[in-house]
Amino acid sequence: MKKKILIIDDEVNIGLLLSKFLTRNDFDVVSAITGNSALEKMTSQKFDLVLCDYRLEDTDGKEILIKIKEQYPSTGVIIITGYSDIKLAVELIKLGAYDYITKPLYPDEILNTINKALESQNVINKSSESKNHIEPSSVYGNYTEYIDGESDVAKNLLKQIELIASTSYSIILTGKSGTGKECVAKAIHLNSLRRDQPFVAMDCGSLTKELAGSEFFGHEKGSFTGALYTKIGHFEQANGGTLFLDEIGNLSYEIQATLLRTVQERKVKRIGSTKEIDLDVRIIVATNENLSENIIKGTFREDLFHRFNEFSIHLPSLKHRGNDILIFANKFLTVANAELNKNIKGFSPGVEKSILNYGWPGNVRELKNVIRRLALLTNGSEIQENVLPLELSNYDHFNESNEKNLKQVAETHAPKNLKNAAQEAEYKAILSVLKQVNYNKTKAAEILKINRKTLYNKMKAIELGE
């Protein structure tokens, strides 16, 4: 059956040319010259796609887009604009437009964009209509250790994964290091229509500008000095499946520009090759940075951000997950038992208390490593307090004594003038960071961007000691 397209353009000649061109390419085309008449046509006919000029006589493309997405969410929308304004384009995509095309119009570009939009909508619609439900235990496989739980946070995370997995939307995963972003990405892939295709993970934090092109796109043998063999890039490896880009905020601005073109056009060309390879890749990116702040600083492209940000999931720190911490701890203990050929049943009440009270700055990754260490040191059937590392066993006492110090410092250094007020702000900043990293002075110095000696001197000045 022919796909049905609605063209909305108040320039009659352009609308007529578009209509003839798309009809020749086997589409069923209907035209409208005003926004209101277009919306009336949509009440009586079902359209697969709408091609809408941004500036109309009675309204604009933004208003039309909002109304279509509210009333006909399964209909794709492409905006045509003669104003090559990247901020406007980004806003339209954020509101739900599949893409935008700038005037003058080129037939190949129009046809290519329409076909991609229809393909994308087809995948989404099939997903929403599918009645096959797979139980999380089978879908998430070995990744439940970072995902499930009984807290509201865990339930919300599962709902988001199940909601977005069956679409082809690009996703941004945010959260601190060690919260399990790659495991969530794998869970999304395993619960998607692409589950039988490759899942390829790439660490952008380790990429240099010289290596990035080869890693992303691949290269042909002899294409540059040292290219002794043909290399398939990560995009090509993930074709048909999911590409996971970790630490996306670390990419240089130049690499981001190259990446944007690939994400937009869904084509890749190996270095040294003239052949373009069509891509069908779902992209999931992860970061522990605030990309919105990076955009303001000028270190991350806003247009690339919105290409990725069709959906976002935030992974909370472990300390915000309540009793889920013990669920994770027991899962990790089961794994450790298998690794060490032991049969440890669980944790003593004192150990459970310490596990729940500790701040876990390294999040789930730190918890996993600690449980493995505790299992290694335990010979009986229960993990006891005597094998706890100092940071856990002393945590309550450490916090209590330092809370007292905080109170004393606040009273001693109450600001009496502008200089004192500045000092007080500095003291509060230092103490806040010390609490955040469980009084690990090396980590605190790194966060505060001062050396350890300076930190010790400042701690001594506020009578916190060494």
Asked if residue 349 has a cis previous peptide bond (ω within 30° of 0), the answer is no
Nearest Cα neighbor of 48 from 75, 67, 18 is: 75
Both tokens of residue 362? Answer: 């390294």
Where do runs of H (alpha helix) occur along 130-217? 136-139, 152-165, 181-190, 209-217
Are 430 and 444 in contact, with CB atoms under 8 Å apart?
yes
Integer Cα distance of 7 and 426 in angstroms: 61
Pick from 33-37, 111-115, 344-348, 434-438: least confident:
434-438
405 pLDDT higher than 90 = no
Does 138-314 match 4-129 at the fold level? yes
Q: What is the mean pLDDT of residues 362-382?
A: 92
Which amino acid is located at 228 in the chain? L
pLDDT tens readout for residues 235-249: 999 999 999 999 999
Listed by start position, the domains of the chain span 4-129, 138-314, 320-393, 395-461
Read off the pLDDT band of 401 (50, 70, 90): very low
377 pLDDT higher than 90 = yes
Sequence length of the chain is 466
**Per-chain mean pLDDT for the chain:** 82
Read off the pLDDT band of 112 (50, 70, 90): confident
Both tokens of residue 441? Answer: 């002075």
Both tokens of residue 342? Answer: 């032991």
Integer Cα distance of 112 and 266 in angstroms: 10
DSSP β-ladder status, 76-81 and 49-53? parallel
pLDDT tens readout for residues 134-169: 344 334 444 455 567 888 888 888 888 888 998 889
Report the range out of 332-336, 429-433, 450-454 with the highest average pLDDT.
332-336
Name which residue leads in pLDDT, 443 or 306.
306
Homologous superfamily in CATH for domain 138-314: P-loop containing nucleotide triphosphate hydrolases (3.40.50.300)
119 pLDDT higher than 90 = no
The pLDDT of residue 136 is 41
Integer Cα distance of 62 and 67 in angstroms: 9
Name residues whose C-beta falls within 8 Å of residue 146's C-beta, 6 or more positions apart in sequence. 179, 180, 183, 184, 328, 364
The pLDDT of residue 209 is 73
SS3 345: coil
Name residues whose C-beta falls within 8 Å of residue 370's C-beta, 6 or more positions apart in sequence. 389, 392
> Is CATH 1.10.8.60 the classification given to domain 320-393?
yes
SS3 244: strand
> What's the half-sphere exposure (Cβ side, CA atoms, 13 Å) at 394?
9
What Rg do the C-alpha atoms of the chain give, in angstroms? 28
Integer Cα distance of 138 and 136 in angstroms: 5
Nearest Cα neighbor of 370 from 445, 383, 382 is: 383
- DSSP of 13-58: HHHHHHHHHHHHTT-EEEEESSHHHHHHHHHHS--SEEEEESB-SS
The pLDDT of residue 174 is 94
Question: What is the CA 128 to chain-centroid distance, rounded?
Answer: 22
Read off the pLDDT band of 421 (50, 70, 90): low
SS3 268: strand
**429 φ, ψ to 5°?**
-65, -45
pLDDT tens readout for residues 198-255: 999 998 877 777 778 888 988 888 887 777 778 888 999 999 999 999 999 988 888 8
Q: What is the dihedral of CA 283, 289, 295, 299, to 10 degrees?
A: -90
Name residues whose C-beta falls within 8 Å of residue 232's C-beta, 6 or more positions apart in sequence. 218, 270
The pLDDT of residue 412 is 53
17, containing H or E segment: helix 12-24
pLDDT tens readout for residues 67-102: 888 888 788 899 888 755 556 766 777 677 888 887
Both tokens of residue 136? Answer: 């999380």
Q: Which fold has domain 4-129?
A: Rossmann fold (3.40.50)
The pLDDT of residue 102 is 79
Name residues whose C-beta falls within 8 Å of residue 373's C-beta, 6 or more positions apart in sequence. 389
Which amino acid is located at 164 in the chain? I
pLDDT tens readout for residues 266-280: 899 898 888 999 999
The pLDDT of residue 100 is 81
Nearest Cα neighbor of 319 from 288, 354, 356 is: 356
> What's the half-sphere exposure (Cβ side, CA atoms, 13 Å) at 220?
10
Name residues whose C-beta falls within 8 Å of residue 134's C-beta, 6 or more positions apart in sequence. 191
| Residue 15 per-residue DSSP state | H
The pLDDT of residue 71 is 84
Name which residue leads in pLDDT, 451 or 420.
451
**Bridge partners for 76 per DSSP:** 49
Name residues whose C-beta falls within 8 Å of residue 399's C-beta, 6 or more positions apart in sequence. 435
| Residue 310 per-residue DSSP state | T
The pLDDT of residue 398 is 46
pLDDT tens readout for residues 284-332: 999 998 898 889 889 999 999 999 999 999 998 998 888 899 999 998 9
Exposure string over 128-143, b if 16+ CB within 10 A, otherwise e: eeeeeeeebeebbeeb
DSSP β-ladder status, 277-278 and 267-268? antiparallel
Q: What is the mean pLDDT of residues 338-356?
A: 92
The pLDDT of residue 407 is 52
Name which residue leads in pLDDT, 20 or 112.
20
The pLDDT of residue 105 is 82
The pLDDT of residue 117 is 83
Both tokens of residue 11? Answer: 């320039």
